Amino acid sequence: MDINFNKNEDHNKLLLSELRQKLAKVKLGGGENRIKKHHEKGKMTARERIDYLLDRKSKSIEIGAFAGEGMYKEHGGCPSGGVVVKIGYVKGKQCIIVANDATVKAGAWFPITGKKNLRAQEIAIENKLPIIYLVDSAGVYLPMQDEIFPDKEHFGRIFRNNAVMSSMGITQIAAVMGSCVAGGAYLPIMSDEALIVDKTGSIFLAGSYLVKAAIGESIDNETLGGATTHCEVSGVTDYKAKDDKDALDRIKSVMDKIGDFDKAGYNRASALPPKKDENEIFGILPKARNEQYDMMEIIERMVDNSELDEYKAGYGQTIITGYARIDGWAVGIVANQRKIVKTTKAKTKPSEMQFGGVIYSDSADKATRFIANCNQKKIPLVFLQDVTGFMVGSKSEHGGIIKDGAKMVNAVSNSVVPKFTIVIGNSYGAGNYAMCGKAYDPRLIAAWPSAELAVMSGASAAKVLLQIETASLKKKGEEITKEKEEELFNKIKSRYDEQISPYYAAARIWTDGVINPLDTRTWISMGIEAANHAPIEKQFNLGVIQV
Do residues 473 and 515 both lie within one domain?
no
Q: How many CA atoms lie within 13 A of 438 on its CB side?
A: 16
Do residues 289 and 420 both lie within one domain?
yes
Do residues 385 and 319 both lie within one domain?
yes
Angle between helices 157-168 and 111-127 (to 10 degrees): 10
What residue ranges of the chain have pLDDT lower than 70? 1, 183, 344-351, 398, 458, 545-547
Spatial separation of the C-alpha atoms in residues 344 and 367, rounded to whole Å: 18
Find the DSSP H helices in 265-325: 281-284, 295-299
Asked whether residue 6 is domain-assigned, the answer is no
The pLDDT, as a whole number, for residue 547 is 59
Q: What are phi and psi of 401, to 5 degrees?
A: -60, -35
Sign of CA dihedral 212, 217, 222, 228: negative
Nearest of 126, 134, 119 to residue 170 by alpha carbon? 126
Length, in residues, of the chain: 547
Rg (CA), the chain: 26
User: Could you tell me the CATH number of the domain that includes residue 436?
Assistant: 3.90.226.10
Do residues 250 and 383 both lie within one domain?
no
Domain total of the chain:
3
Do residues 232 and 342 both lie within one domain?
no
Do residues 518 and 461 both lie within one domain?
no
Long-range contacts of 25-29 (CB under 8 A, 24+ apart): 25/79, 26/65, 26/66, 26/69, 26/79, 26/80, 28/79, 29/79, 29/80, 29/101, 29/103, 29/104
Query: Can you state the percent helix, strand and coil of the chain, rounding each to 5?
Result: 45, 20, 35
Q: Which domain holds residue 309?
A: 278-451+511-533
Q: How many CA atoms lie within 13 A of 422 on its CB side?
A: 27
Do residues 250 and 387 both lie within one domain?
no
The pLDDT, as a whole number, for residue 347 is 44
The pLDDT, as a whole number, for residue 348 is 41
Which three-class secondary structure state does DSSP give residue 130?
coil
Asked whether residue 157 is domain-assigned, the answer is yes
Spatial separation of the C-alpha atoms in residues 221 and 5, rounded to whole Å: 63
Spatial separation of the C-alpha atoms in residues 386 and 334, rounded to whole Å: 11
Which three-class secondary structure state does DSSP give residue 253?
helix
Quick: pLDDT tens for 300-359: 999 999 999 999 999 999 999 999 999 999 999 999 999 888 776 644 455 677 877 899
Spatial separation of the C-alpha atoms in residues 32 and 475, rounded to whole Å: 54
The pLDDT, as a whole number, for residue 301 is 98
Do residues 496 and 429 both lie within one domain?
no
